[in-house]
């Protein structure tokens, strides 16, 4: 088994202080590996990086045919729980004749500071709609309503999750070794880094109207590209970097330092995993690969926020740099 490689390094006082190791794969249109670092066969949990895959059954079934691009961005989101996210999920549930209690994702304090302050000032508690995965779960509820399943749609043997597993294995091209339970209580199926990149290449090559699955993949990725504010939120890498690329690339992070990219213009998909789970390493690594492929400008302000960044003291003195490791990207 190939070991993970150094992707990001933190240097301080002329000495190497920390290293983020990981695996990464770039796949071409046919799903084959065009470039790889570390072990392409390393098995990982994609976590939230695969939400567009989890939404395929919603779209293929026809249940989501009338969803707007904004809602499709939201169904793939790990959002901040800001007002725009809370209001959109609440309206979607109401349109289905459902409410917050029908969700099974659990309550979560919003990452969005204005919304958190609003809750504190009004003496309100966070609810399930604030959960960063509430858009995905609204999609699960819509699919479940279409299927006529029981209320606990997060159970692994529920028709909703069985449909998700089938789609996941088909687009990754692998039989999953099993699942773990994600932070939102839904199953999260494992795959290799190559399998995840292969799935992203499928999304990158999907054609509008070619067949039900390709149409689903096309609409979901374009919803992400058109509405990066719904996918994450202000101050988040996914939103800022998608804006920097002008709506031509979809990217998505997952917990424990997973990152994917869907690049339709190049018909390529990317997947990476930083093995220590460090988000800053994954954000730097995805920037480095996107710059390498020419779809992200190295000197864009958003890129500079995550790639080859300067560490500073509380008084503003330069103390170190987080930079791309030699030999990566």
DSSP string, 238-264: HHHHHHHTTTS-EEEEETTTEEEEEET
Query: How far is it, in rounded angstroms, from Cα 200 to Cα 203?
Result: 5
The answer on pLDDT for 173 being more than 90 is yes
In a domain, 241, yes or no: yes
**Residues 289-300, mean pLDDT to the nearest whole number:** 98
- Alpha-carbon gap, residue 27 to 200, rounded angstroms: 8
Q: Quick check: 200 pLDDT over 70?
A: yes
First to last CA, the chain: 21
Which residue, among 244, 235, 253, 222, has the nearest Cα to 300 in the 3D structure? 244
Tokens of residue 304, six digits: 């500079």
For 59, other C-beta atoms within 10 Å of its C-beta total 26
Share of the chain above pLDDT 90, in %: 99
- Domain region containing 216: 5-324
Instruction: Decide if 329 is inside a domain.
Output: no
State the pLDDT confidence band at 1, using cuts at 50, 70 and 90. low
- Residue 42: the pLDDT is 98
**Structural domains in the chain (count):** 1
Q: For residue 218, what pLDDT is reported?
A: 98
Flag whether 26 is in a domain.
Answer: yes
| CATH number of the domain to which 173 belongs | 3.40.710
- CA distances 188 to 129, 253, 309, Å, are 20, 14, 32
User: Tokens representing 290?
Assistant: 């996107």
On average, the pLDDT of the chain sits at 97
CA distance 128 to 101: 8
- Structural domain contains residue 303: yes
Query: How far, in Å, CA of 302 to CA of 244, rounded?
Result: 7
Residue 37's pLDDT band (cuts 50, 70, 90): very high
- Tell me, yes or no, whether 47 lies in a domain: yes
Structure-derived torsion over alpha carbons of residues 262, 26, 236, 122, reported in degrees to the nearest 10: 70
For residue range 60-108, list pLDDT tens digits in order. 999 999 999 999 999 999 999 999 999 999 999 999 999 999 999 999 9
Predicted TM-score (pTM) above 0.95: yes
Domain-located, residue 101: yes
Q: What is the pLDDT of residues 235-272, one digit of tens each?
A: 999 999 999 999 999 999 999 999 999 999 999 999 99
Question: What pLDDT was estimated at residue 2?
Answer: 87
* pLDDT > 70: percent of the chain: 100
pLDDT in tens, 296-305: 999 999 999 9
């Amino acid at each position: 088994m190939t070991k993970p490689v150094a992707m990001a390094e933190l240097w301080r006082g002329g000495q190497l202080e920390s290293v983020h190791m990981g695996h990464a794969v770039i796949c071409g249109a046919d799903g084959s590996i065009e470039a790889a670092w570390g072990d392409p066969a390393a098995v990982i949990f994609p976590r939230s990086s695969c939400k567009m895959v989890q939404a395929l059954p919603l779209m293929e079934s026809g249940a989501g045919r009338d969803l707007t691009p904004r809602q499709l961005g939201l169904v793939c989101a790990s959002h901040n729980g800001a007002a725009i996210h809370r209001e959109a999920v609440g309206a979607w549930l109401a349109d289905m004749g459902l409410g917050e209690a029908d969700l099974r994702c659990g309550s979560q304090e919003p990452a969005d500071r204005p919304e958190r302050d609003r809750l504190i000032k009004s003496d309100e508690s966070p609810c399930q709609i604030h959960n960063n995965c509430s858009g995905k779960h609204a999609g699960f509820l819509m699919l479940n309503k279409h299927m006529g399943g029981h209320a606990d749609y997060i159970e692994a043997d529920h028709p909703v999750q069985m449909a998700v597993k089938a789609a996941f294995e088909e687009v990754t091209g692998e039989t999953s070794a099993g699942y773990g339970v994600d932070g939102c209580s839904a199953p999260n199926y494992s795959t290799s880094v190559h399998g995840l990149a292969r799935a992203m290449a499928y999304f990158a090559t999907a054609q509008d109207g070619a067949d039900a699955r390709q149409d689903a993949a096309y609409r979901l990725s374009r919803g992400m590209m058109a509405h990066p504010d719904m996918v994450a939120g202000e101050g988040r890498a996914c939103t800022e970097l998608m804006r920097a690329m002008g709506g031509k690339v979809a990217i998505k992070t997952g917990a424990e330092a997973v990152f994917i990219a869907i690049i339709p213009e190049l018909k390529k998909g990317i997947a990476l995993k930083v093995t220590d789970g460090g988000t800053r390493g994954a954000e730097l690594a995805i920037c480095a690969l996107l710059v390498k492929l020419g779809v992200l400008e190295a000197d864009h302000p958003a890129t500079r926020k995550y790639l080859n960044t300067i560490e500073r003291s509380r008084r503003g003195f330069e103390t170190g740099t987080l930079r791309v490791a030699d030999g990566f990207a």
